Amino acid sequence: MSETSSCSPKPRVGLFVTCLVDVFRPTVGFAAVKLLEDAGCAVEVPAAQTCCGQPAYNSGDRADARDLARRVIAAFEDFDYVVAPSGSCGGIIKRHYPPLFDGDPAWQARAERLSAKTYELVSFLTDVLGVERVIARYPDTVTYHDSCSGLRELGIKSQPRRLLATVADLDLREMAESEVCCGFGGAFCVKYPELSNRMVSEKAAHIQASEAGTLLAGDLGCLLNMAGKLQREGAAIRVRHIAEVLAGMADAPAIGEPDRGDAPCK
Partner 1 sequence: MQVTSQTFKSNAGAALRDAALQRALKNLKAGFPGKRAAAIAKLPEFDQLRAAGRDLKNHVLEHLDFYLERFEAKVIEQGGQVHWARDAAEARQIVLDICRSVAARRVTKGKSMISEEIGLNEFLEAHGIQPVETDLGEYIIQLRHEHPSHIIAPAIHLNRDQVADAFHAHHGPYGFTERNEEPRALMNEARQVLRQQFLSADVGITGANFCVAETGATVIVTNEGNGDLTQILPRVHIILASIEKMVPTLEDVGALLRLLTRSATGQEITVYTTFSSGPRRPEDLDGPEQFHVVLLDNGRSGMVGGEFQDMLRCIRCSACMNHCPVYGAIGGHAYGWVYPGPMGSVLTPQLIGIDAASQLPNASTFCGRCEEVCPMHIPLPKMMRHWREREFEQHLSPAGVRFGLSAWAFFAKRPKLYRIAAGFGAWLLRRLGGRKGRIKHLPLAGGWTAWRDLPAPQGQTFQQQWAAQRGARS
Rule CB under 8 A: choose which of 109, 198, 211, 251 binds partner 1: 198
Cβ-based nearer residue to partner 1, 96 or 110:
96
Q: How far is C-alpha 96 from the geometric centre of its chain's CA atoms?
A: 17
Contact (Cβ atoms closer than 8 angstroms) between residue 87 and residue 147: yes
Site string for partner 1, 227-266 (x = CB under 8 A): xxx-xx------x------------xx-xxxxx----xx-
List own/partner pairs for 6-13 with CB under 8 A and 24 or more apart: 6/40, 10/40, 10/41, 10/42, 11/40, 11/41, 11/42, 11/80, 11/81, 12/41, 12/42, 12/44, 12/79, 12/80, 12/81, 13/41, 13/42, 13/43, 13/44, 13/79, 13/80, 13/81, 13/82, 13/83
Query: Is 104 an interacting residue with respect to partner 1 (CB under 8 A)?
Result: no
The Cα 255–Cα 239 span in angstroms is 5
Cβ-based nearer residue to partner 1, 166 or 231:
231
Cβ 166 to partner 1 shortest distance, Å: 26
Rule CB under 8 A: choose which of 5, 10, 38, 45 binds partner 1: 45
Cβ 157 to partner 1 shortest distance, Å: 12
Query: Is 216 an interacting residue with respect to partner 1 (CB under 8 A)?
Result: no
Query: Is 175 an interacting residue with respect to partner 1 (CB under 8 A)?
Result: no
Residue count at the site for partner 1 (CB under 8 A)?
A: 73
Query: Is 24 an interacting residue with respect to partner 1 (CB under 8 A)?
Result: yes
Q: For the stretch 221-259, what's the b/e string if a residue is b when 16 or more beta carbons lie within 10 angstroms of its beta carbon? A: bbbbbbbbbbbeeebebbbbbbbbbbbbbbebbbbbeee
Coil/strand/helix, residue 177: coil
Cβ-based nearer residue to partner 1, 130 or 193:
193
Query: Is 57 an interacting residue with respect to partner 1 (CB under 8 A)?
Result: yes
Rule CB under 8 A: choose which of 23, 42, 116, 168 binds partner 1: 23
Cβ 214 to partner 1 shortest distance, Å: 15
Q: Which of residues 72-101 bind partner 1 (CB under 8 A)?
A: none
Query: Is 55 an interacting residue with respect to partner 1 (CB under 8 A)?
Result: yes
Query: Is 58 an interacting residue with respect to partner 1 (CB under 8 A)?
Result: yes
Query: Is 199 an interacting residue with respect to partner 1 (CB under 8 A)?
Result: yes
Q: Which of residues 148-167 bind partner 1 (CB under 8 A)?
A: 148-149, 152-153
Non-local CB neighbours of 149 within 8 Å, separated by 6+ positions: 87, 88, 90, 91, 92, 219
Non-local CB neighbours of 20 within 8 Å, separated by 6+ positions: 86, 220, 221, 224
Query: Looking at this protein, which amino acid is placed at residue 31?
Result: A
Cβ 7 to partner 1 shortest distance, Å: 26
Query: Is 180 an interacting residue with respect to partner 1 (CB under 8 A)?
Result: yes
Query: Is 224 an interacting residue with respect to partner 1 (CB under 8 A)?
Result: yes
